Amino acid sequence: MSFIVSLGIIALLSAVSIPYIKQYQPNLKLNSDAKIITSDLRYAQQLTITEQITHKVSFNIELDTYNIIKNTEPATTIKTVTLDSEVSFQSITGLTNNEVIFNYYGGVSEPGQIILTNINSKTKTIDVKPSGYIQLN
């Protein structure tokens, strides 16, 4: 008898919590992708400083992808990332050709913002400062 009561309680808790989890999951994916992009920007910055070869992160808004590229002749793609299907680029401002290019001191050629959105219309903004400081808001 206690087994049936326990099973009933578990079923009730599952029925109540599953819709909440499904609504919250896109926000988790947005936060995760924003943190990954921030980390990859810092990675490209660190590669530029340590190797003394410029690196850039090139964003493709239409495909919701980006590449970390080593600016050699010919250019070498180090990493390609596709955003989660529930996350997309809303806009990229201030960056020519949607690229963040780091110099040997860790600064960037131009500052800008990368704005991500999810299917719940929540947004996350990544600010790229002239000094190369990357801030996730």
> What are 50-85's pLDDT values in tens digits?
999 999 999 999 999 999 999 999 999 999 999 999
Q: Where does the pLDDT of residue 20 fall: very low under 50, low under 70, confident under 90, or very high at 90 and above?
A: low
Domain 27-136 CATH assignment equals 3.55.40.10? yes
SS3 for 5-40, per residue? HHHHHHHHHHHHHHHHHHHHHHHHHHHHHHHHHHHH
Helices (H), the chain: 2-51
Where exactly are the structural domains of the chain? 27-136
Residue 33 backbone dihedrals phi, psi, to 5 degrees = -65, -40
